[in-house]
Amino acid sequence: MTAIDQPPCSSRTVDAFLRMGMAGFSWGLFVGSYDAGKKGLSGLANASYVAKAIANNSVKWGLCGGLYVSLNCGFEVLRTKRDWINGTLAGALTGAAVGSKKIGIIKTALAASVICSTLEMMKPAEYPPTRIIK
């Protein structure tokens, strides 16, 4: 697929937000249930704790995924290239945004940049990732 055949950036961003939001939903469900059991919660308190964990993780994961893909797509449009550098820059900025509160910005940005660069080099250069090849 060429850049012209690609879905628009807004579609890719929404797709990433929803996919990562579902991953956050799963993470919140399992971790929230585990933590609630560890704290000895039961009944309505347990359900409330798990629901909050699901909501928090869904939104946070979704925002990270959406931010990364929108930045990656933006760099792709600005640079008029589709390569690993876009993923590296998008990963660094996403990592800086995520790590800006509690964790060190530099460490998180570097770690996210390395992870995103590695993933960009490993994936095929086409979108959507679920396309059936004939």
pLDDT bin (cut points 50, 70, 90) of residue 96 is: confident
Residue with tokens 């086409």: 126
| pLDDT tens-place string over residues 16-40 | 999 999 999 999 999 999 999 999 9
DSSP 26-91: HHHHHHHHHHHHHTT--THHHHHHHHHHHHHHHHHHHHHHHHHHHHHHHHHHHHT--SHHHHHHHH
Nearest alpha-carbon partner for 96 in 113, 115, 109: 109
Helix 9-38 and helix 44-79, axial crossing angle in degrees, nearest 10: 150
Nearest alpha-carbon partner for 33 in 58, 53, 62: 53
pLDDT bin (cut points 50, 70, 90) of residue 103 is: low
Does residue 50 or residue 83 have the better pLDDT? 50
Task: Domain ranges for the chain, please list them.
Answer: 9-62
The least confident of 79-88, 102-111, 117-126 is 117-126
- Give Cβ neighbours of residue 20 (< 8 Å, ≥ 6 apart): 61, 62, 64, 65, 66
CA–CA separation, 19 and 129 (whole Å): 12
